[in-house]
Every structure is written in structure tokens, then in C-alpha cells.
Amino acid sequence: MLGFIFRRVLQSIPLLIGVSIIGFALMHLAPGGPLAVYTLNPTITNQDIERIRIVLGLDQPIHIQYIKWATGMFTGNWGYTFFGGRPVLWVILERMPATFLLMGSALSLAMMIGCSVGVLGAVRRYSVFDMLATSGAMVALSFPTFWFGLMAIYAFAIKLGWLPSGGMYELGEEDNIIDLLRHLVLPVMVLSLVIMAVWSRYARSAFLEVMHQDYMRTAKAKGLRAPARLWRHAFPNALKPLIALLGIELPALFSGALVTETIFGWPGMGRLFVDALNMKEYPSLMGMIMFTALFVIVGNLVADVLIAIIDPRVRL
């Protein structure tokens, strides 16, 4: 098992290098390049820009720039923001807890409800419940997240006034957990809705497939009762593709979080990213792309290890 994890970690390294090269290249190919932000400032002359270029090392060959940047990434020096001059890594880490709180809550909720709906739909295939769940998921998947977000704000914050329309806490209530939860409800609801729909569909088809396998027939022929067959035999087998899905869905979860945070003014990385994009904050953008990539790669690594724990055939 340890050998498997070690091999799997080694495999992630080239992937990470690949992602960093692509990210780096994209930023350099972007219109205007890294110094576009300065050209809009009338007080900065062309000579100033040239000086900045040299100071930032942008006059050097691209591969040298990449190596310098990559070394910095590796040693924790992710550069400084253009505005404010704060270390990028700090800025990101500052925003991380808010994002993880949102994403973690949404994902947990979506997995619990989505899986239950899916399993029930598979067990009672073509029942009224199954039909409703199927159409519900279709509706959730057909509308964009921002529309749901705006509708939720309109209904629950503006019309009913039950919940706050945005932000993470009221002024002066930073330590009030109840206040935090009240602020969390709407963004989590909106973010988890689409994930839930996806998960219910996948869980349903994963269980349907597993339930028609020969070993499920063997389990029944052994005299096992329905709960034992479902939890001991079907569940671990159906869980496998779902864990793989978790790894694959992480980037989608990130982009969902980005939209949700923007709508609800949630002070997380999503908002940071949108702000950085608007202000052409290259160091922050690069930092965040790398952070996301790292997160997705680690997420997939964890998913693979979980699958290996469940399935002895993968461990070899």
C-alpha cells in the first residue's frame, strides 16, 4: 500500500510540472503581457516600463524566467501583488479558509443527499420518486449557477428576509458561529445544488450497474437480506466510480465556488481570483492557478488512494 502511494505521488510530479508550464505560458501569451497593467497608467513612462521589465526579470529568455518563477513557487516565494505589494502566498492562504468552508460544506451536503437520492432511485427504479429525482436533477443541471444564486437572494433574502444576502458575517459578529452559519446557508445551497444533481445521477447509474452484477445474484443466492446485500456488497463496488468522480469533479467545484463567491460576496479565493483578473494582477493569478492545480492533483491522488484501499486489484 505504501509502495502504491509512493508510486502515485511520483506520478503526480510530471503532471504538476506540465500544469505549471501551461499556466506560465498562458499568462505570457495573454494580450498585453504581464506589464499591461502599467501601460494604462498615464504617469508611467515607457522608460519606467522598461526599468520595471528589467527589475522583474522580464527581459531575460523565457525559459530562465520560467525556472526562476518555478523555483520561487517551490520555495514558497510566490511573488508580490502589484497593488499593495503583499506576498501572494499570504493573500491566498488568507482567503483559503473561507473557500474551503464553503466548498467543504457544499460538497458534503451534495454527496450525502445526492448519493441517497441516487441509491433510492436505483433501488426503486422507475418509481414516482425516481422520476421526480430524475427530472429534478435535469432542472438543476439546465440552469446556470448564477441564476439560482440570484433567485435564492431574491426569494430568501429580499422577499422573505430570512437570510442575509451576502458576505460572511455582519459587522462586529466575527466570532458568532450562528451568524456565520446564517451567512453560509444560501451560498452552500446554491453551490451544492448542481453537484447534488450530478452526484444523484452518477450514484443512480453506479448502483444500477452494480446491482445487475453476477456477485449480487450470488449474494442473494446465499440468503443475504436486502440491507446486507446493499451495504456490504453493492455499496463498496458502487463507491469506486463515485470516488473517481470526486477527483474529476474538483475543478468544476472550484469554478462553481468562484461564481458563487462572486454572487454572494463571499470573501474567498473565488472573489480574489475575479478581482485579480479585473486588475490584471499577474502574480496573484499565477499563484492561484498553481494553487488550484495543486489542490486538484492532490485531490485526485487522495481519490486514487481511497480506491486502492477499497479495491485490492488496484493495489498491485
Enumerate binding residues for another protein (CB under 8 A): 7, 10-11, 213-215, 217-225, 228, 232-233, 236-237, 240, 310-313, 316
CB 91 within 8 A of CB 284: yes
Closest approach of Cβ 126 to another protein, in Å? 9
Contact 279, 37 (CB under 8 A): yes
Q: What amino acid occupies position 10?
A: L
Query: What φ, ψ does residue 32 adopt, rounded to 5°?
Result: 90, -25
- C-beta closer to another protein: residue 139 or 314: 314
Residue 222 Cβ, how far from another protein at the closest point, in Å?
A: 4
For the bound state, the minimum distance from the C-beta of residue 223 to another protein, rounded and expressed in Å, comes to 4
Q: Which is nearer to another protein, 84 or 223 (CB)?
A: 223
Q: Which is nearer to another protein, 66 or 129 (CB)?
A: 129
Closest distance of CB 233 from another protein, Å: 5
Question: 227-231: which pairs have CB atoms within 8 A and are 24 or more residues apart?
Answer: 230/119, 230/123
C-beta of 260 vs 300, nearer to another protein = 300
- Supply φ then ψ for residue 266, to 5 degrees: -80, 125
Q: How far is the CB of 304 from another protein (least distance, A)?
A: 12
All cell numbers assigned to 22? 501551461
> Please, which residue, 52 or 245, has the CB nearer to another protein?
245
Whether 77 contacts 241, CB under 8 Å:
no
Output the CA–CA distances (angstroms, integers) from residue 219 to 103, 147, 171, 316, in the order listed.
38, 46, 58, 26
